[in-house]
Structure 1
């Protein structure tokens, strides 16, 4: 396939269109360029949308049908005679493996197809995988690398690679067998259980930190797999309190409609039970939508966020040996809710009336009011203002301020501008340091002196001309 063209430049535009121009790619991929694909997207949208696929080599195109005041991004791809090719995964380097705990493994897989296929990785029951502290995914054109660092038992399972383009898709699944490990933490305690031969169930008989146990009235022996076998079969089970890995639990601020994703590891033996709870407006409820729990791991995967999903999320991990809790703050920014009603009409005249309504219950997380501006300095054509930032930033960093007439200031974050702060006292545009009366008198005296000198010079010149005549 050909290389990428240059970055498109906007050579002309109006409120509903933009004209793009670009340079052709330096490498046509060995075949003549047939045309270009122009794509665009809203600056805050995740996906690109195809505008048109041209069938000529012109490097200019006018994109029409834009919405006024929207922010757009554009990009251009070249296409040649490579034709339509469905994705195909090269399976020679993508095979099932068995490795030991603590080892690192990397799958490096080539992918073919036209246009360039998009590659995604998933685990077990279609759990989407992303980059984490131990998982590294690097996708390039026609190639993908997948690396797991410091393998542990819970990494066992099926891994699926999917390559997809507009012409179809290809999938391949491999297995990762259980590694022999200690679960990622040193053994601190043991539980002793025995097999009840009458019922066929394991029964707990004690716990402790020693690795050797002696049952009264029996002489157990060590088996090849580490269990003790005697008149009653005895097995060992690790006992670890739950521990939530907080590495990926960073506060998250997103716009409504954007995805929310957290990937959290959880240690403990036996595998802890994990629950998610949301606290919003002094109410807490359990979250089940988007929660994916497997042994030693939990995920919160929400495809489209809504304003109601804001709040403090609490993760609770429990097993018979204890519990652990962790929290993360999620803020979903959106427009304010509808103002309260009913709308009240008063002071009706033939030329107008007064309307009154209640504030919306939800302000959409816009920032609070800044302090009243103070006048630091001024002159006839300027004024210098100073104010304090609002105490409440609305859940997102303040990105700027809007200064309005009457010296009002609004704070701005991702959700938009907040309410204006109180105005300053009225100010007249004038020079701050006016000359005193003494200085004005001196100026008059100097002007009179100059005028008198000019008159003397004129008289002298008149006498000189008169004398000559």
Structure 2
């Protein structure tokens, strides 16, 4: 807006402007490298730092002679925030070449290159030395220029001579430009040797000799070294080079070079020691003391230390469901370590690496383990028993679990439940390790049941069986009457009774039962105890030594710590007599597709009391069980079973009951009977009187014969 003495003008709005970071493609600054050429002498270190710019920061990769640059301990690349650095330690002639660098970011890609030239002494002249002309006093000979000129031109050649009987070489000339020479002033009859060396600005190379070429053999551990792609042997007339590519520790050892010609042999021993990162620690990598949160790793030092002392160890871990390794510990000086902070239930793999001054060695991996406790939850405690009761407390005792799950029991959890409630309530606030506990703060008059849990390091157990209900009261009472006293069996001298426990035990455990008998018509105080002195422990008992056919009345009473409770009488008197015999074997008298009628005979002996009815049982074949067929009392000795399935097999048996309420044993079975309609053959029925009377008729008369 513009402003003058009259005020402000209307505003003018600019176009929208987007504020964003400027981007630029990568750029290499090679002004510091003269003509993009780097020259070094063999054995020197090369370090070329090239500034790199670009936004965002580009990623840089290197190539040599259009191939990805192979990084070794001699050849390395270092990238900083502003530059990329090529480092070649102790350079060799083979390091010469074109090194290209490529920078990439989202804007684009740029490639630039430098040329590295490594210069060295020249190699030997190319032989053999040719003796072109020999006379009494001179010899003319020639050779070829070296295949390796060291990267710079050959300045001159040096020719030396010696007599074969001497070890001393004498220089004939050091200013030879061409590859021929004439040695003069020689003595007739003397044998000479010549050698030629090439020289460039870096110095004089190895010689080419005119003597007979020796045969050279490399051996290692008593065996000849074979020329392979990894272990190469390069021979010249007077040199032998053994090249081991990508050396590893096992490539070290004692190498012997033996040279032999007609004059004899010579040998030299080369003790080769390959220095490297250490090998893997000696296994196995043992994982012990495993819990849900930690474990202990144990390993042995590596058999191959890489030629240098082991400085420390590194431990890593990963979950078996993931590929990424995470660091657990570094700078370890020992061969054992406790790994912590594991996640319960996860599966882990661990690895250990030894470290020396040359780097981190190969890893030793463990088997997969699951982080879980070696113990489980304990078994439930035994059923709690109530040993003391007051109006507001009880004392509980219980047995220890059958198994503690492999871990010490650290606590027992006690719970209570009021009979009028559905909720269980914890009783103890502090840990309980004893096998007894006093529960307090009960409501007087209420009935409670109790249960107990056991706890260990793995967790809490299932609950124990619940205790019987107990009433919170100070007073104890005699028990109530037993339930449903009844006669199970009689003989001529015994009666077998059974009953149920009392509904109310008086607040004290039932310790036994008292049985009494009395003859009908006697006074009430003439009851006779017929049970053992310490009472009957179960809920059934057989009274013996009774008089045959004598009727008896019987009572059953429960006993607790307070005494003998109220008696429960057997509903009616029973007579000591043998049970009646079973009925006769039933037989089928009528069969249809859905019913079978059977008939039987009465028992031969009714047990001294009239038979009052029968029970008919049926069983479906082949795999059925005996079931009651009649739902009302059968008085007659015949019964029709209905509702059967056509073509199914059935069998039947009958049980008699007499007036004394005693049941007989079952009769024999009818055997299998198939439910289906019976088909009878035709039969002709004629009145017997008609069979004896002759039929007389007139001719053409009608006659009627009833059939």
> Shorter-chain TM-score: which interval?
0.3 to 0.5
- TM superposition score normalised by structure 1: 0.35
Larger radius of gyration: 2
The structure where helix makes up a greater share of residues is 1
Looking at both structures, which has the greater relative contact order when contacts are Cα pairs under 8 Å and sequence separation is at least 6? 1
